[in-house]
């Protein structure tokens, strides 16, 4: 209890230490300088994107996606003959988890 009272006193001291302080003021003409700089026209730089590199990346991504689909389809056809629970790794994981709330 004594600790809470000391804590409250400290908080009150910190808040009261800011009484009478003035806010920081910007220098003369600072606002006008900032507005002038924001409104002045600037040259816009554009970076050309190399079309060949984008096309190569797109082809590579497409090839990886197609390869993944073919691989997944091949793995799925191998597992269809076995037990349905064994074909689904999530089902075996759920069965191995215990959910006791003691």
pLDDT digits (tens, 9 = 90+) for 57-97: 999 999 999 999 999 988 877 655 555 545 666 776 666 66
d(CA 1, CA 3): 5
- Helix ranges (H only) for the chain are 2-16, 30-39, 51-79, 84-87, 89-96
d(CA 58, CA 62): 6
| Percent of the chain with pLDDT strictly greater than 70 | 75
Q: Which two tokens stand for residue 61?
A: 């991504």
Give the model's pLDDT for residue 100: 64
Mean pLDDT calculated for residue range 1-20: 86
Give the model's pLDDT for residue 25: 85
d(CA 70, CA 65): 9
Q: What is the mean pLDDT of the chain?
A: 82
pTM confidence score? 0.33
Q: Which two tokens stand for residue 91?
A: 């089902």
């Amino acid at each position: 209890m004594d600790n809470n009272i000391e804590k409250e006193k400290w908080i009150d001291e910190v808040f009261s230490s800011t009484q009478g302080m003035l806010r920081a003021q910007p220098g003369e003409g600072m606002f006008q300088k900032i507005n002038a700089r924001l409104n002045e026209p600037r040259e816009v730089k554009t970076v050309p994107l190399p079309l060949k590199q984008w096309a190569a990346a797109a082809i590579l991504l497409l090839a990886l996606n197609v390869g993944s689909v073919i691989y997944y389809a091949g793995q799925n056809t191998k597992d269809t003959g076995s037990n349905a629970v064994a074909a689904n790794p999530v089902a075996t994981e759920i069965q191995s988890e215990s959910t006791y709330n003691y």
